[in-house]
Amino acid sequence: MAGIDEIVISKAIAEKYFEKLVDSLNSDVAIVGGGPSGLVAAYYLGLNGYKTTLFEKKLSLGGGIWGGGMMFNKVVVQKEATEILDEFNIAYEEYDENHFVADAVELAGGLIHRASRKAKIFNLVNVEDVMIRDGRITGLVINYTAVEMSNLHIDPITVSAKAVVDATGHDASVCNIVSRKTGELEMRGEKYMHAEAGEIGVIDNTSEVYPGLFVAGMTVAAVYGLPRMGPIFGGMLVSGKKVAELIASRI
């Protein structure tokens, strides 16, 4: 342990962080939200060679996975999503022919681990606005979450991207910004609980909702007025993979 220096430690953190930040100011894809759909999208986009950056508002990633259902840290996925769990090397067990159970902590940790190998990830970063040129999303306006929480008047910085994914879940934060500032995106609002309809609807409606802006996961429900589905996560995973495929076909 000899030779450790506090200033060297600080310099290493600062230099490598800002090296990552500067490199991420121009990306192919910027994903907002580090829940299941955002993490899966980041993995598949990065895997296919797209320069991908993910911004998460909170300290930890994983979205609603960690708490399972009512703090019972098990989650359910349907059969169609098990191939994604296999891809991420996440264990699961069959409950019946339609329902498979995974450990919430392993699922969150596995998604974060694999996504972080394929994309640049920034936590504690809030997206407060978007950039639009000629009717198309061209990037994001970001600031630190602590600035928002402290209600400080500190100007943000901007990052550019060829495509943006709103994977912020129930908040649909990027879509709400676009809706409010352009008047060109209708937000129908998330509906009541209906797990099967919600799962099918989220996958089917994963799409580009404004030029350059794509939605995945529960954001889809907020935009299209779909039911919520609770602690079943297969639709979130499949939606993340689908949005990556959509973007790959268009940029």
pLDDT-derived band at 18 (thresholds 50, 70, 90) equals very high
pLDDT at 228: 96
Rounded Cα distance between 187 and 181, Å, is: 13
SS (H, E, C) 80-96: HHHHHHHHCCCCCEECC
Residue 2 has pLDDT above 90, yes or no: no
Strand partners, 227: 191
Residue 251 has pLDDT above 90, yes or no: no
Rounded Cα distance between 61 and 36, Å, is: 9
Give residue-wise pLDDT tens across range 127-166: 999 999 999 999 999 999 999 999 999 999 999 999 999 9
Hey, where are the domains in the chain? Answer: 12-248
Residue 37 has pLDDT above 90, yes or no: yes
Rounded Cα distance between 17 and 175, Å, is: 28
Percent of the chain's residues with pLDDT above 70: 100
pLDDT at 107: 98
Give residue-wise pLDDT tens across range 163-203: 999 999 999 999 999 999 999 999 999 999 999 999 999 99
Mean pLDDT, residues 112-131:
98
pTM comes to: 0.97
**Calculated CA dihedral for residues 103, 33, 24, 46, nearest 10 degrees:** 50
pLDDT at 1: 78
The domain made up of 12-248 has a fold known as FAD/NAD(P)-binding domain (3.50.50)
